[in-house]
Amino acid sequence: MKLVIAITQDDDTANLVSKLTEEGFRVTKLASTGGFLKAGNTTLLIGVDDEKVEELVKVIEKVCKPREVTTAVSPMPLVEDTYIPYPYNIKVGGATVFILDVDRYERI
């Protein structure tokens, strides 16, 4: 068994969770915050049998799209502690996916 941790954009979450549930995957949704943009995103925990991992990754690929995000403040200070606000474009990926081995799984 694997534990898939998928960090996704909030805009894709409802659609992705519905699709995964429809396809028979069990999902836990956590509200999370990206360290770089300091903006909300969603972390999904999905426990899945080894043979279903590729199917799961394909669903994530289909639903989650990369987007360009405009952030108002440069993360770099111009002078010490002085931040000049200006539009800054960053491409956020469709999803960041980690796939981990599960030693033991119990549903009690």
User: x/- binding map, residues 22-51, to ligand 2BA, per CB under 6 A?
Assistant: ------------xxxx-x-x----------
The token pair that represents 42 in the structure block: 């969603």
- Binders in 55-94 for ligand 2BA, by CB under 6 A: 90-93
Q: For residues 9 and 48, which CB has a smaller minimum distance to ligand 2BA in the complex?
A: 9
For tokens 């081995």, the residue is 101
**What residues are paired with 104 via a beta bridge?**
none
Q: For residues 19 and 96, which CB has a smaller minimum distance to ligand 2BA in the complex?
A: 96
Give me the least distance between CB of 98 and ligand 2BA, in Å please: 8
CA atoms within 13 A on the CB side of 33: 4
Angle between helices 53-63 and 10-22 (to 10 degrees): 140
